[in-house]
Chains A and B, each alone.
Chain A
Amino acid sequence: MDEKILIKQSINGDVTSFEQLIKSYQKMAYNVAYRVMGNEEDAKDMTQEALIKVYKNLKSFRMDASFSTWLYRIVMNTCKDALRKNKTKVISLDQPLDTGDGEMQWEIEDEGLKPDEQLVQKETQNEVQKALQLVGENNRIVLVLRDIKGLSYSEISDIIDVPEGTVKSRLNRGRQELKEILLKQRTSQLKAIRKEG
């Protein structure tokens, strides 16, 4: 059904229409939140909180604007707001990630024995996700929107409400940061292997 019709019905309070409206966005919103927040629990909370805000504020959405840009902007703002409130949560490279509910999240799911390749791939992914959390929050958001969500500079600029030049410099700094963090991780892993050997 036409997005505009769904928006109008949602404004009138129709929850089912709203659920249909966000159906194609919620998974991506959750993924983006997951990469920004660093764990599934926070990602779920933030995505849902943002979607509720979207629902409650649909009335103020301007029909000629892009709904997806608006939605992602709310998701990003909600994540940023949460990160700001949880500033005390500092993740250290030397320690396993602790979300407060015990160590978790790096192992996405246990699939029993798997081929080596797949294992290596999963380990790399965990490593990248962990390193991403150490990248400064503003740079991290831009990295996620660009390389994970695949948005253009101009779309990112609309979502986070900064000039394209800022998007560009944040991407540059973000990639630098990520590179250095990953190198540092690799070096400390190597040292650990040498010690064991």
Chain B
Amino acid sequence: MKCNEFELLIDAYVDGELKETKAFEEHLKTCETCRLLYEETMAIKTLLQDLDEVPLPDDFEATLHDKLVEASKEQKIVPFYRHPLVKTVSSVAAIGIISLLAFKIGTLMPAMDEDHAEKESTVAMDMASDDGGNMFAGEYSVDEEAANEMPSVAFSESVSDLETESTLTAASLRFTSLEPPYTNEEVNYVLDDGDLNEIETWLIAYDVDAVEVSENQLSFYMALEDLDHFKSELSKHFQINSEVVLDYRDTIAMILNEYTMNTNEKMDQNDAQADEYKQSVENTLSEQVAKIEKYQLYKYVIVSIKKE
């Protein structure tokens, strides 16, 4: 055995992971330099092994218990488009929302500067499409370069083109169902159990919620600050075919606004009602607002991936 081979095997040897030890031990006996290296390596290993075990802090179990109780009460975030409030608005203000939409298209688009607008990934929405139930039904394309940026929501037809009331209602139902868009690439890979296990074990290190898997796509909410790091981790193990990052902030603001307006209107029409009743309506409102507001802290991400 040569010295450079010895150096390569030394860690496996001191760790008891070297199967063929004979040649190694022969060299150890005859080479002074390598013997020194071996002793140093053993010394370092022993120093670490000799570190005393540290005791758990006194309040470890008690504070953990409190956090666990807290966690057991917490409700998982359900996908935003399935949030009950989104449905509520749909029945209360179906037409109201769509007319509001006509004026507020600008605000529906996630905040972004105009320079980026052209190279952003776009979600084209065809309001007249027969593809029921999907807000973003229609063309969808992703620009690789713009992958890190927020997508814009572009309408292929102006809402004002919609004429009859029945069309309005149908369209508003589509809007209020708020289904996320899916990438339109061909699925030629299905994530298997092994992939999922692998993904899930490091995905949960992030601030992430509502993970859904469909064939080769992962959909989840993630805090914005984690997104870049997560994607760089993901791309080490998987090939990212395409991705969508949705920012719901403006949509949420709009829904909240509409919801509040409606509730206030109803309250104004009923002056005679007892204060107690009004109070309970207000409480419900603020509860709902709190529930839905947390979606503003997350981005909804869909990545379509494939094992390399």
Q: Which residues of A approach B to under 8 Å, CB–CB?
A: 13, 15, 18-19, 26-27, 30-31, 34-35, 40, 43-44, 47-48, 51-53, 55-57, 60, 62, 65, 70, 73-74, 77-78, 80-81, 84, 108, 124-125, 128-129, 132, 143-144, 146-148, 150, 152-153, 161, 168, 171-172, 175, 178-179, 182
- Asked if A13 and B72 sit within 8 Å, CB to CB, the answer is yes
Q: What's the Cα separation between A33 and B12 when bound, in Å?
A: 24
- Asked if A146 and B15 sit within 8 Å, CB to CB, the answer is yes
Q: Is B20 an interface residue (CB 8 A)?
A: no
- Asked if B44 and A15 sit within 8 Å, CB to CB, the answer is no
In the A-B complex, the 5 residue pairs with the smallest Cβ-Cβ separation, listed nearest first, are A77-B205, A147-B48, A15-B68, A57-B204, A172-B11
**B86 smallest CB distance to A (angstroms):** 24
- Asked if B53 and A27 sit within 8 Å, CB to CB, the answer is yes
Which chain A residues border B277 with CB–CB below 8 Å? Answer: none
Q: What's the Cα separation between A132 and B51 when bound, in Å?
A: 11
Which chain B residues border A70 with CB–CB below 8 Å? Answer: 201
- Asked if A53 and B201 sit within 8 Å, CB to CB, the answer is no
- Asked if B56 and A179 sit within 8 Å, CB to CB, the answer is no
Instruction: List 22 A-B residue pairs with CB atoms under 8 Å apart, sorted by A's residue number.
Output: A13-B72, A15-B68, A31-B53, A48-B63, A52-B67, A52-B68, A52-B71, A55-B72, A56-B71, A62-B197, A74-B204, A124-B47, A128-B47, A132-B48, A147-B48, A148-B49, A168-B12, A171-B15, A172-B11, A175-B44, A178-B44, A179-B44
Given contacts A18-B68, A129-B51, A175-B11, contact A147 B205 (CB under 8 A): no
Q: Is B307 an interface residue (CB 8 A)?
A: no
Which chain A residues border B45 with CB–CB below 8 Å? Answer: 147, 175
Q: Is B23 an interface residue (CB 8 A)?
A: no
Q: Is B82 an interface residue (CB 8 A)?
A: no
- Asked if B51 and A55 sit within 8 Å, CB to CB, the answer is no
A-B contact count (CB 8 A): 114
Which chain A residues border B56 with CB–CB below 8 Å? Answer: 26-27, 30
Q: Is B198 an interface residue (CB 8 A)?
A: yes
Which chain A residues border B48 with CB–CB below 8 Å? Answer: 128, 132, 143-144, 147-148, 178
- Asked if B200 and A60 sit within 8 Å, CB to CB, the answer is yes
Which partner residue on chain A sits nearest B229 by CB separation? Answer: A84
Which chain A residues border B10 with CB–CB below 8 Å? Answer: 172
**B223 smallest CB distance to A (angstroms):** 11
- Asked if A15 and B72 sit within 8 Å, CB to CB, the answer is yes
**B30 smallest CB distance to A (angstroms):** 22
Most buried by A among B15, B52, B63, B65: B15
Q: What's the Cα separation between A40 and B63 when bound, in Å?
A: 15
Which chain A residues border B88 with CB–CB below 8 Å? Answer: none
- Asked if A44 and B51 sit within 8 Å, CB to CB, the answer is no
Q: How large is the interface on B (under 10, 10 to 19, 20 to 34, 35 or more residues)?
A: 35 or more
- Asked if A108 and B54 sit within 8 Å, CB to CB, the answer is yes
**A184 smallest CB distance to B (angstroms):** 14
Name A's interface SS.
helix
Which chain B residues border A179 with CB–CB below 8 Å? Answer: 40, 44
Given contacts A35-B51, A148-B49, contact A65 B68 (CB under 8 A): no
Given contacts A62-B197, A147-B48, contact A19 B206 (CB under 8 A): no
Q: What's the Cα separation between A148 and B51 when bound, in Å?
A: 8
- Asked if B201 and A73 sit within 8 Å, CB to CB, the answer is yes
- Asked if A168 and B47 sit within 8 Å, CB to CB, the answer is no
Which residue in B11, B41, B206 is a CB contact (below 8 Å) of A168? Answer: B11
Which partner residue on chain A sits nearest B7 by CB separation? Answer: A172
Interface residues of B in 98-130 (CB under 8 A from A): none
Given contacts A13-B72, A34-B54, A84-B229, contact A161 B64 (CB under 8 A): no
Q: What's the Cα separation between A171 and B13 when bound, in Å?
A: 12
**B118 smallest CB distance to A (angstroms):** 33
Q: What are the interface flags for B192-212 relative to A under an 8 Å C-beta threshold, 1 for contact and 0 otherwise? A: 010001101110111000000
**A9 smallest CB distance to B (angstroms):** 12
**A177 smallest CB distance to B (angstroms):** 10
Q: Is B17 an interface residue (CB 8 A)?
A: yes
- Asked if A15 and B69 sit within 8 Å, CB to CB, the answer is yes
Q: What's the Cα separation between A123 and B65 when bound, in Å?
A: 34
Which partner residue on chain A sits nearest B43 by CB separation? Answer: A179
- Asked if A44 and B198 sit within 8 Å, CB to CB, the answer is no
Interface residues of B in 212-237 (CB under 8 A from A): 229
Q: Is B271 an interface residue (CB 8 A)?
A: no
**A167 smallest CB distance to B (angstroms):** 9
Q: What's the Cα separation between A18 and B60 when bound, in Å?
A: 15
Which chain B residues border A128 with CB–CB below 8 Å? Answer: 47-48, 51
- Asked if B71 and A55 sit within 8 Å, CB to CB, the answer is yes
Which chain A residues border B11 with CB–CB below 8 Å? Answer: 168, 171-172, 175
Q: Is B186 an interface residue (CB 8 A)?
A: no
